[in-house]
Amino acid sequence: MKPTTALLPALDGDAFDLDGAGTGRLRVYAGVPSGAAAQGTPLLMVHSVNAAGSAREVRPLFDRYRASKPVYALDLPGFGLSDRSDRVYTPRLMTDAVLAAAAEVQRRHGPRPMDVLAVSLGSEFAARAASERPQRFRSLALVSPTGFNGTARRQAPPGSTRAVPGLYRALAQPLWSGALFRGLTRPGVIRFFLEKTWGSRQIDEDLWQYDVAITRPPEAKHAPLYFLSGGLFSADIHRVYDSLSLPVWMLHGRRGDFVDYRGKRFYEGRPNWRFDVLDAGALPYFEQPDAFCARYDAFLATL
């Protein structure tokens, strides 16, 4: 097995590591243009969470926007080239990682608030970060976010998760956890789940290849097992979404397994929320980059 440090970076940018006592080592990618564009409002991107998550999932947007503004993206704890050690992975840890990356962006570009764009479950962490440190963020973009399926309101006590009791312990048994994760990350299985994400067999082949490579090291299993047990989903997420006062843009697709967004009805009447839908899968900017960015740019123009 190749060590994590031998794996290719997720993005073509200036990569650096942040070392935090609470988050461990975080890999962050920076794309800062030259000239006047370097003074633009910074954009921080947060990828989704799954068995093979990494900043590679936001590559089309990172590559597109780095020419016009400072752009940053991080590998969340337990994923990509960040610290993937055997430890407890929680929404708190993920939120702290987003806040750490945001603090570094402000250290580099000044205290003005930045825009943040997050995908799927990463949206819950970005929303919590914006709720806790609103002065750091100008706007929040949620792409195919979790927490909107069904019509039930998730308002459990603050900080609680949707972990299934005993499930992580069962999944993480040393006798079979490695084999379980290897089974979930076989190339054909990764392709299967990407096709469910796209709602089509026409997936992004580069992302598939990277996902296969990034899941080979043995330490890659630790965070995904917490994800599979429900421990990275927030049981209080509607409390978090309810608390947001900054401008929020939400976009999702109509295809694939992630099309139940009935819960957005709770926010459609709020003046700081705006919604868009594309005929695409859960990562719509891979399929329709121009349409996606036109809608996102229109939202940013209102700020």
* pLDDT tens digits, one per residue of 157-178: 999 999 999 999 999 999 999 9
CB 116 within 8 A of CB 40: no
Instruction: Please report whether residue 126 resides in a domain.
Output: yes
3 pLDDT higher than 70? no
Q: For the residues 283-300, what does the mean pLDDT come to?
A: 98
Instruction: Please report whether residue 64 resides in a domain.
Output: yes
Out of 1-15, 23-37, 214-228, 271-285, least confident range: 1-15
CA distance 68 to 300: 13
Rg over CA atoms, the chain = 18
Predicted local confidence at residue 257, as pLDDT: 87
4 pLDDT higher than 90? no
- Please choose, from the candidates 137, 151, 161, 123, the residue with its C-alpha nearest in 3D space to the C-alpha of residue 250: 123
Number of structural domains the chain divides into? 1
Instruction: Please report whether residue 7 resides in a domain.
Output: no
Predicted local confidence at residue 157, as pLDDT: 95
1 pLDDT higher than 70? no
Residues 6+ positions from 232 with CB-CB distance below 8 Å: 49, 89, 90, 91, 94, 121, 161, 223, 226
pLDDT tens profile 100-128: 999 999 999 999 999 999 999 999 999 99
Strands ordered across the beta sheet of 248-253: 14-20, 24-31, 71-74, 43-46, 114-119, 137-143, 248-253, 273-278
Residue linked to tokens 């564009």: 37
CA distance 130 to 280: 27
Instruction: Please report whether residue 70 resides in a domain.
Output: yes
Instruction: Please report whether residue 3 resides in a domain.
Output: no
Tokens of 144: 């195919």
Predicted local confidence at residue 20, as pLDDT: 78
Instruction: Please report whether residue 4 resides in a domain.
Output: no
Instruction: Please report whether residue 1 resides in a domain.
Output: no
Tokens of 63: 């590559």
Instruction: Please report whether residue 62 resides in a domain.
Output: yes
Q: For the residues 9-38, what does the mean pLDDT come to?
A: 94
Predicted local confidence at residue 7, as pLDDT: 83
pLDDT tens profile 259-270: 999 999 999 999
- CATH code for position 159: 3.40.50.1820
Residues of the domain holding 224: 12-301
The model's pTM:
0.95
Q: For the residues 198-217, what does the mean pLDDT come to?
A: 96
Q: For the residues 268-287, what does the mean pLDDT come to?
A: 97
Distance (Å) of CA 148 to CA 13, 29, 160? 33, 29, 17
241 pLDDT higher than 50? yes
Predicted local confidence at residue 256, as pLDDT: 87
Count of CB atoms situated within 10 Å of the CB of 50? 21
Predicted local confidence at residue 5, as pLDDT: 40
6 pLDDT higher than 50? yes
